[in-house]
Structure 1
Amino acid sequence: RLKPGSNTVTVQAIGEDGTSQSISRSFSVTKPIPRTMIDAPLSNQSINNQDVLVRGWALNGSGVKEVRVSVNGTHIGNAQTGLSRPDVNNAYPGYPGGDRSGYSYTFSDSILISGYNTIIIQAIGNDGTIQNSQTRVYMPELLYHSTYYYTTFSDAVDVQLVRNAQTDLYGNGWESAKRVDVESHMNPNNYLQFTPVNDKSSAKTLQITASSLNVRSGPGTSHGVIGSVARSQTYSILGQSNGWYQISYNSGSGWVSGTHVALIGNTQTMPSLPSAVEVTASSLNVRSGPSTAYSIITSVSFGQTFSVLDTSNGWHQINANGRIGWISGQYTKQVKKIPGELYQFLILSGSSGISSSNLNTELSGKGILAGQGEAFMRAGRDNNINEIYLLAHAFLETGNGTSTLANGVWVTSVDGKAVAPKRVYNMYGIGAKDGDALRLGSEYAYKQGWDTPEKSIIGGAKWIADQYINNATYKQDTLYKMRWNPATPGDHQYATDIGWALKQTRNMDMMLEICQRNNIPLRFDIPSYR
């Protein structure tokens, strides 16, 4: 019955004869300060494909009326209160209801945005006083830009058919792919569950696609040639006119024809991680329509993840290795993660920004790779390759640092000729061709001088960079570019198999896991044909 502040207690003694005597004393009452705590989620915790549990405790000198939960400034609901917390009552005695001061609230990660999200807890007392606490969680950030090629999609497909694109889809071994299957595998739109921002008109950078392109003094062939630029070189766009682009050139500027450049769009953020389904059966038929009455066109396997293109009667339409078909939802589960086919657009060049100490955390327990964080960082920095991609590549090729080739092979002869004996290492399986992988991989490492794990990590990264990711002529830094080379279709393609890029994506989930643990954004390059 006491109120905060000054209170007066009066004692009055009344005799049998009616006389009375009273005495008063004044004293001050201080109400305990409101307190709140968020126990979960932890600050900067990564969230992916999971509900978010918010729990903690709240105390108020007048008792807690309600606990409100907000995400990014939007109230999403009120937490369940009155949960048992004797530990809190022991630590902060004197609060009403202190032994039942716990709260809990669960929400779907679908309301989170890419990047950091702020969760605010607002504990409101019965007297109207408010106490806030906040934390933040990280939703894996997906960044992308579009690259706009002058080549039409139809013309690019024509080139692949002329080059005799191959497939093993028809059940007869390797044979020439049909046009419809080349188109299905090659069309970027088949793998996207969002519509990229069309910022072609506002692109600020271009890349040269011709082997050599004249630079002219003005926007047209009537203007004089002042020099030339080479394939894969990039330039800032200063202006444009009638299909020509003005670029910085030789301390001045010049103009190049838009028919021989690719325009690089600005960095955008994907709206959210795409909705997808994951296969839960060991093998699941993909049918031409949404029921078992339709024919089987291919199959998918346990753990594979696909974007949902459409739904009908409990069936999901997906792109299964380039074939559009339907799978029964009975044998899938809804997930919120990157569909595997999107990895073919993941940019493999450039540093991820991860620290050497965090690299060593990821390398812990990985056999001979443990403690090599500085070597991987140098390999990425010196060769302009994503360090996390190098880790994933090395984990795959070495069996997490346990393979014989990774742990060192004693070489006494190369190409059948005796050499000075030396132990060599090969962390990426370079040169280790099927049939005689150990000998060929170790002899290749000997020729390169990879006589320490560090030399193998750094030298192997240079080979990967020089061949494709940062090739001086072609710069193919995504799996899609390695296979289809949209800048100059048909040239310098890694494989003839129309399914090659998709097949490689099955080994890249590890990159996402590492990025999630270290709050590192993934970057994608989405091709767009004219």
Structure 2
Amino acid sequence: MTTKFGFTKMDIQEFEAWIDSLKVARTVLTVQQHHTYSPSYQLFKGNNHFELQKGMQDYHINHNGWAAIGQHFTTFPDGAILTGRSLEKSPACITGQNANAICIENLGNFDTGKDSMTVEQRDTIVRITAKLCTRFSLPVNTNSIVYHHWFDLTSGQRNNGTKNNKSCPGTAFFGGNKVSDCENNFLPLVAVLTQPTPQITGQIIKYAMVTASSLNIRTRPDPSSAKANDRAAATLGAVLRVYEEKSGWYRISASQQHWVAAKFTAGVKHATVTANTLNVRTGPGTSFEKVGAYTKGQELFIVEQKNKWSRIGMDNKWVSNDFLAFD
């Protein structure tokens, strides 16, 4: 591994060991696939990984006004991976779909007739996706693994590429960018490499969302105890898994004594969409404007309930309880 400009470069074997050792407080539900479009293969010189990554970061900060680079990881034509945004922070990659997501940018333009993906990058994309699914206990399906093309650019509504969509991750990305292309060509490759989820010691008793801008993780349920030195603080909006509650503190690790103060969190409920299409509205009722839709099997975190309606995350998005299955 090598580090420069705050990014770490590794090969896929190093990544697989690294992600297993990394402690992440934020609950992850989806892995997003993108292509950079620009820079494309033409700008990759074989040794300028860090310069290209820094160029993307500078663009995201100075042009887009974001706090950091948008993606968590970038894959390169030689199969290398560079880290980007902290995994404790949501990405800035798909409008309205970034909470609880990990964003992968694959360097290149994979639209038909443009860059022809190398064998090395193809292998890395499959393996990094499979490893993330294993690490975060995600099923290999098109609710957990998503393409940017499936979401409306303005609203973030999932429409599976029927209107106002980017081609991202490319019309030739593993045979195409449609849902059926993903199911037929990409997911089977990922599924073969996905390992059984390791047995978790401890049971999740609830979920909690961070309400502070930064929430320290400590080694005991005591404000005077030391901070955990092997993990970053949890950030605003992160949904934490709670394994134990004691004297106003939550233990957020299944295997270690890692605690956060409960007063800096809000309780959330976990639910799964049961309708084929579930409309999202701006308020708790059918009279409110429709602003999107969720698909069957999507997992949601509910922060408020009113009149048999539920509000999703920190957004002003509401759905009917009639089409949700709650844990």
TM-score range, shorter chain: under 0.3
Q: Which has the higher helix share?
A: 1
TM-score (norm 2): 0.26
TM-score (norm 1): 0.17
Q: Which has the higher strand share?
A: 1
